[in-house]
Structure 1
Amino acid sequence: MGEAFDAAGYEVWVTDLDRAALARCPATWQCREAGAADEEAMRGVFAEIGALDVLCANAGIAGPTARVEDVALEDWRACVSVNLEGAFLAAKHAAPLMKQAGQGAMILTSSTAGIFGYPNRAPYAAAKWAVIGLMKTLAMELGPFGVRANAICPGAVEGPRMEAVLLREAAAKGMTRDQVYQGYAAGTSMRSFVEARDVAEMAVFLASDAARRVSGQVIAVDGHTENPDPKP
């Protein structure tokens, strides 16, 4: 997502706990090691930024892939903490900066799991549904100050994170990785996964003047998900 905003002319700030990922960022980006659910760290980052046009609350983890009765409370809390509390803290500390400026765009990353229920993904689906509720509230609360809020719901995105989900789900369901992959792809009308750039380009659009009257919306970038329960 950072590459797309960089190409669009934005100054890019990135936070992550993955030092290796931060080291791979372009030298022109402002990168800070900070956890999305660590309020003190987030407070410090936003104080350093000082002024903000666009917030992309994009931090997330997949959480466990298991039947609800097998999900440990510790794993539930870890998943909800990053996916929901991370978005909340980003919005909390971005809001004063945007209200002071009288404009801004908040883009929260939910998921198609925030539109459908997903078997064996209870913590993740619950958190992503809640992100949409948070976004709707932000849109109403901040709209009078010229601040817009929207949520992007990616479908299955090609890459290492989704690959890990495929392998865990295959093990949980007694299927092969390729069977689960084909099940996800077959569950969309476009019969394919999406790429990270598809999501990034939507975020840049939502941040732009072309979307200046788009707020409070849930926008799926998923090739039109039809069936959230992948089958062979």
Structure 2
Amino acid sequence: MTQDPSRLDGKVAVITGGGSGIGEATAHVFAQAGATVIVTGRRIEPLEKVAKDIGGHAIACDVSNQDDVRAMFTKAKDIAGRVDVLLNNAGGPGPIAPVAEVDMNEWITCMNINLVGAMYCLQEAAKIMTAQGSGSIINMSSLMGIQGYPMRSAYVASKFALIGITETMARELGPVGVRVNALMPGAVSGANMDRILAKRAEAEGRPAADIERENYTDVAALKRWVAPEEVGRAALYYASDLSSAITGDKMKVDCGRF
């Protein structure tokens, strides 16, 4: 019997930012597909809850701290001797302000988490997967990784950069059998989006509901938000052998915002 290419049985998957939102949803999707899932993030309590729900593991890690990242990957590898999948998902929305007025300390903090932190994870995953001769890395970019967006320069810059790094690493790691792809979610429902809407409403002096319709739901062909588990299922495609010939790719998961 040929193994189902959508399954992750025997695979070990690390999900950064795994305590909530897309990370949490993907942890459930990967676990249902048979993976041993390790969720990481800064706060251990939500991670432990997710790990308990899926029969996985929780490791506290601040991705902007290189020592933390190295220690996390060492622990992750110790669990089953390998790391087969990395969902490089940890990140934050960054400051919401025009370029001329943005707080540069907040701007740099966003880049340190979304981009430098992602690179710390990519370095460790690349070393482990190169030694194994296999693996799948999924970088969490955004629709804002291919188009600029007002008031969000730090986030946009970090997500554009991740697309370039994805293509670079796909070429670097392809010869050793490691695939590297990027997901580009549109507006995903949940607490993070609620916070962004509230900040934009305050900054723009108008109702959050108007901003939601004009910028997120009405502009989508499907006229709705993306659900976190829908991004998780797209991540499963890249993580599994369904996409065994695909690397250096980027996929929109956006309810048709084109």
TM-score range, shorter chain: over 0.9
Match of 2:50, SS state, is: coil
For 2:194, the equivalent position in structure 1 comes to 163
Of 12-21 and 177-186, more deviation after overlay is shown by 12-21
Q: Distance in 2 between matches of 1:20 and 1:63?
A: 23
State the partner residue of 2:74.
47
1:224 maps to 2:256:
yes
Structure 2 stretches lacking a partner, 5+ long: 1-25
SS of corresponding position for 1:142 = helix
After TM superposition, list the pairs within 5 Å mapping 1:41-190 onto structure 2: 41-50=68-77, 51-183=82-214, 184-190=216-222
1:41-100 Cα shifts (integer Å, max 9, x gaps): 111111122211101000010111111111111100111111111211111001111111
Q: Distance in 2 between matches of 1:18 and 1:71?
A: 27
Q: The residue matched to 1:62 in structure 2 has which SS? A: coil
1:31 partner amino acid = A
Q: Residues 126-165 of structure 1, C-alpha deviation per residue, up to 9 Å, x if partnerless? A: 1000011111111010000000000000000000000000
Instruction: Kindly indicate whether residue 27 of structure 2 is the aligned counterpart of residue 8 of structure 1.
Output: no
Cα offset for 1:172?
1.5
* Aligned positions, number: 226
Give 1:188 deviation, angstroms.
1.5
Instruction: Tell which deviates more after alignment, 125-134 or 185-194.
Output: 185-194
Give per-residue Cα distances to partners, 1:21-53, cap 9 Å, x unaligned: 123223222111110111101111111222111
C-alpha spacing 1:52/1:23, structure 2 compared with 1 (3 Å): closer
SS at the partner of 1:171? Answer: helix
Identical-pair percentage: 34
Could you tell me how far 1:11 is from its partner in structure 2?
Answer: 0.5
* Mapping for residues 28-39 of structure 1, pairs under 5 Å: 28-39=55-66
Among candidates 41, 46, 51, match of residue 21 of structure 1: 46
1:197 is matched with which residue?
Answer: 229
* Long gaps (5+) in structure 1: 227-232
What CA distance in whole angstroms lies between the structure 2 residues aligned with 1:189 and 1:3?
A: 27
Contact 2:42 2:62 in 1 (8 A): yes
Shift of 1:7: 0.5
Where 2:51 maps in the other structure, the secondary structure is coil
User: Any idea what SS the aligned residue of 1:65 has?
Assistant: coil
In the other structure, the counterpart of 1:208 is 240
The residue type equivalent to 2:57 in the other structure is: Q
Contact 2:188 2:227 in 1 (8 A): yes
Contact 1:57 1:86 in 2 (8 A): no
Q: What TM-score, normalized to structure 2? A: 0.85
CA positional deviation for 1:218: 1.0
4+ residue runs over 6 A deviation = none
Rounded to whole Å, the distance in 1 between the matches of 2:114 and 2:219 is 24
In angstroms, what is the RMSD of aligned CA positions? 1.0
